[in-house]
Structure 1
Amino acid sequence: MKKNQRRRMARPGTIAVTLWTLALITSAFGQKLNIEKGRVIQSGRPDGRHLSTRGFQQYLLRNAHPELAFNPEFTPEEFEQWRSQVRDKLLELMNFPEPVPQPAPRKLWSQERKGYVLEKWELYPVPGSVVPFLVLIPENATPEQPAPAIMCLPGSSGTKENLAGEPPLVPAFKPDDRNHDGWLHAERNQQAVQFVRAGFVAVPVDHPGTGELSDLAKLRRSTMDDRNTLSRYLIDMGRNYIALSVFQKRQILNWMREQPHVDAERVALSGHSLGTEPLLVLAVLDPQIQGIVWNDYLAATMERPRASTKPNHRGIRPAANWLGHSIPGLWEWFDYLDLVAAFAPRPLIVTEGGPTHSLDLVRKAYQIAGAAENVSIHYYPQYHDPADRRDGKPIPEGLSSTEWLDYANVHAAHHYFKGYLAIPWLTGQFQLPDPGKVYPPAPPEVVRKQRK
């Protein structure tokens, strides 16, 4: 029997199972699934207690008060003490392995490019591990005139080669009709090329389990391994995905500062999407970081699961992000929004907005730190006009994943590295000459908004 014939014969059974499943959902406990009624998780008991574990979890989210949450009423002295406490607790949560003497990073090769030199290096962070990275050095960076440096962290499926504008390492990393996630805006996401052309030493890196750090991804048209499984095993060993990423990148940062053509007093981080998470931990733990390019929207990570509870037609509520986003114990102490606030007073740009009440909390931290001018916040073009945002009210519970993004002022189709915002801002912060248009121009919808 041919394969497609077997498939056709299987369809009636598949349909029957689907109908049976829907019937269960419809008739369970004699009730029908009412999506609208089930949007918000409610107890239904006089004592307000929840029978379902998901309901109890929602209760915890509604009543969560992290012990080291940012307080907008801090005095400058209290704020500085709080920043120190946050740094100490975050370092504890990372649970880094004890350092073991390892070989120094080694240069594999060097190649000339137009206006800069491209180098490939290897880091040996711990026994059993090697982490390659790239270095783009502008032609005017010398030991006599060292240049500022920036580490570039990609989005989830991005690679260091894409950030550097280089060809994929293997054919499987080249996008096709089955592999386009992260490549929709491939040219715009070439952060490292844009920064080196603006005069920075740029160091693009991979995420664990991605690109050159992946296992069998190269054989199946993907840049990523099953990082959920990778993350689960790390957690079971007392570690986590973000901590592993930070541990590797922290050593590369230390190496960067020692290079004679790098100005160690002007080192920044630029992260897109997933890259903002290790970026944030690195910046809080390392007081020498002098600038952050946050290329994503900014919101409290506890607010999204609290608000996103609308079930789908199968009675399933929105799923959590994959385990690589998890830092066990984080929410007991603080949220990502608190960590961003702890970065003040150092320069920060947010290029894709977020809920305005979240952004205002970060602005308040910079005011307390006496550096209100050091934070620059921009929205997606669709939300540039305050009249187009859902501001002024708390984000309600009972939203779908799509509705959450709308309430958070996010336009996912335009989620890419905003070089036209980041490059001029950081060159200004580090007092570099105007580099001109070294990045893809702002898209038409941005230009139209600016004209208005």
Structure 2
Amino acid sequence: MTRPHLPKRRLVNSRTIATAVWMFALVMPALGQKLDIEKESVIRSGRADGRHLSTRGFQQYLLRNAQPKLAFDPEFTSDEFAQWQSQVRGKLLELMNFPELVAQPESRRLWIRKREGYVLQKWELYPEPGSVVPFLVLVPNSATPANPAPAIMCIPGSSGTKENLAGEPPLGPAFKPDDRNHDGWLHAQRNQQAVQYARAGFVAVAVDHPGTGELSDLARYRGTTMDDRNTISRYLIDMGRSFIALSVFQKLQILEWLRDQPHVDVDRIAVSGHSLGTEAVLALAVLDPQIQAIVWNDYLAATMERAKASTKPNHRGLRPGANWLGHSVPGLWQWFDYPDLVAAIAPRPLIVTEGGPTHSLNLVRKAYQIAGAADNVSIHYYPQYHDPAKRRDGKPIPEGLSSTEWLDYANVHAAHHYFKGYLAVPWLTGQFQLPDPGEVYPPAPPEAAQTLLK
């Protein structure tokens, strides 16, 4: 039987139909009962016994009643604080579940190139069987075996790469910075941490996140610097590992390599992280007591508090989602949260450049007081929240917030989220007693300049 010929205008591609249905679902409220967003913002039981029928409600109950076993206690004595720090380090090491170290080939230098004021080197490390991790090293001309320089490991924001940290051209067109990419690229020049530190006299090491930049798989074909890192993270978790732990395992070995370099002063080594990079920096600092200073370029808040507060649904009945799985260290909340871990760094010098909820920051300040080093912590807010009168301080952060409302309560101005070299570089040169290098970083924007004068 001959198949009838249908006019082309009547043929509709099935993929087009599926796309249209998907887009319709995004913009239209879900079918069913009418949603009262404000009424449903806070998750309530609705039962006389207070129990929750919904699993999401039960999860909220767990968050409301969670008491991490190794949370920092502001009433610690100095001896109790030191004992607690040791317990935190041991438990975090356990949660990282690092693979056993086995003998691997020596690190290898791939090339060396001259730049103005420093030499750029590319190396590769072999942290475990099957793995190779390239990294860049910027060595100031002043750093020699006779005059070793302080060193710093620089870790980028989520989509940033080691090439951007070093102010170098991207490895391919797909990795070229533009305003379409967020986080690591939107402020590409300001986020060139390694260049800024090298020009200030530091040996600067620039690294990639797993699954990003040169460590990515097919990202270059999709016009992005990142793989599907959620899938990578899920598979790592199923194998008893995690994205953060893999990142930290690799970077700990790069730090060991760094300490063997004759032009590096092993008594003056720091770590600097922006955004996602602060999570690896935090674990590195807790696990490696030889790290002498920490640059935290993000806001600092309790991740459990954020999860508990962020419950306001959108018009489709979806509550704010969790961060992607790369932020997850299984079991972490059972023991401590980020402010607890930052507190465990005391008394080593620490700068926080983008503030956060003041009660979280005060907890860190208290830890430094107990350690007898109150002056070793330097905390700055986003310029928009420099004035205490403009912050939402003094009251607990309520439940029932959207993601955007949470940032407001946390004193965060997301549009100005970038590496604050104008704060971090002068602070660290002062900590390590380097001469004033001048403005080797982009100048403070007008909104920040006013706060620096106060």
Task: Report the TM-score, using the length of structure 2 for normalisation.
Answer: 0.95
Matched with 2:104 is: 102
Output aligned runs, 1:264-279, within 5 Å: 264-279=266-281
Indicate which of 44, 47, 65 corresponds to 1:45.
47
The one-letter amino acid of 1:14's match is V
Structure 2's unaligned 5+ residue stretches are 1-7
Would the aligned equivalents of 1:294 and 1:349 in 2 still touch at CA under 8 Å? yes
Separation in 2, partners of 1:15, 1:236: 31
Matched with 1:92 is: 94
Partner-residue secondary structure (3-state), 1:135:
strand
Matched with 2:203 is: 201
- Residue 21 of structure 2 is aligned to residue 14 of structure 1: yes
Matched with 1:153 is: 155
Matched with 1:67 is: 69
Closer, same or farther: CA 264–177 of 1 in aligned 2, 3 Å: closer
Structure 1's unaligned 5+ residue stretches are 27-31
Q: Percent identity?
A: 79
Output aligned runs, 1:188-267, within 5 Å: 188-267=190-269
CA shift, 1:448, in A, is: 2.9
The one-letter amino acid of 2:83's match is Q
Matched with 1:334 is: 336
- Residue 293 of structure 2 is aligned to residue 291 of structure 1: yes
Closer, same or farther: CA 119–313 of 1 in aligned 2, 3 Å: same
CA shift, 1:14, in A, is: 3.0
Closer, same or farther: CA 85–47 of 1 in aligned 2, 3 Å: same
The one-letter amino acid of 1:351's match is T
CA shift, 1:235, in A, is: 0.3
Separation in 1, partners of 2:256, 2:43: 47
Matched with 2:32 is: 25
The one-letter amino acid of 1:431's match is Q
Output aligned runs, 1:411-422, within 5 Å: 411-422=413-424
C-alpha offsets along residues 394-438 of structure 1, whole Å, 9 cap, x if unaligned?
A: 000000000000000000000000000000000000000001000
Would the aligned equivalents of 1:297 and 1:350 in 2 still touch at CA under 8 Å? yes
C-alpha offsets along residues 59-85 of structure 1, whole Å, 9 cap, x if unaligned?
A: 000000000000000000000000000
Indicate which of 339, 361, 366 corresponds to 2:368.
366
Would the aligned equivalents of 2:159 and 2:182 in 1 still touch at CA under 8 Å? no
Matched with 2:409 is: 407
Count of residues in Structure 1 that have an aligned counterpart in Structure 2: 447
Matched with 1:187 is: 189
The one-letter amino acid of 2:193's match is Q
Matched with 1:354 is: 356
C-alpha offsets along residues 175-225 of structure 1, whole Å, 9 cap, x if unaligned?
A: 346545521100000000000000000000000000000000011100000
Closer, same or farther: CA 19–240 of 1 in aligned 2, 3 Å: closer
Matched with 1:301 is: 303
The one-letter amino acid of 2:328's match is S
Separation in 1, partners of 2:143, 2:96: 34
Separation in 1, partners of 2:140, 2:296: 23
Task: Report the TM-score, using the length of structure 1 for normalisation.
Answer: 0.96
Indicate which of 139, 142, 146 corresponds to 2:141.
139
Would the aligned equivalents of 1:133 and 1:160 in 2 still touch at CA under 8 Å? yes
Q: After alignment, is 366-375 or 17-26 more displaced?
A: 17-26
Matched with 2:164 is: 162
Separation in 2, partners of 1:110, 1:12: 49
C-alpha offsets along residues 271-297 of structure 1, whole Å, 9 cap, x if unaligned?
A: 000000011001000000000000000
Q: After alignment, is 170-179 or 340-349 more displaced?
A: 170-179
Would the aligned equivalents of 1:178 and 1:221 in 2 still touch at CA under 8 Å? no
Closer, same or farther: CA 44–426 of 1 in aligned 2, 3 Å: same
CA shift, 1:307, in A, is: 0.2
Separation in 2, partners of 1:13, 1:428: 58
Separation in 2, partners of 1:313, 1:7: 28
Separation in 1, partners of 2:371, 2:281: 21
Would the aligned equivalents of 1:25 and 1:315 in 2 still touch at CA under 8 Å? no
Partner-residue secondary structure (3-state), 1:185:
coil
C-alpha offsets along residues 314-366 of structure 1, whole Å, 9 cap, x if unaligned?
A: 00000000000000000001111100000000000000000000000000000
CA shift, 1:447, in A, is: 1.5
C-alpha offsets along residues 228-260 of structure 1, whole Å, 9 cap, x if unaligned?
A: 000000000000000000000000000101100
The one-letter amino acid of 2:127's match is P
Separation in 2, partners of 1:19, 1:170: 34
- Residue 327 of structure 2 is aligned to residue 325 of structure 1: yes
Closer, same or farther: CA 365–176 of 1 in aligned 2, 3 Å: closer
Partner-residue secondary structure (3-state), 1:93:
helix
Matched with 1:29 is: none
Would the aligned equivalents of 1:179 and 1:221 in 2 still touch at CA under 8 Å? no
Matched with 1:119 is: 121
Instruction: Supply the RMSD in Å over aligned alpha carbons.
Output: 2.0
Separation in 1, partners of 2:133, 2:285: 21
Separation in 2, partners of 1:380, 1:300: 18
Separation in 1, partners of 2:11, 2:228: 29
CA shift, 1:313, in A, is: 0.1
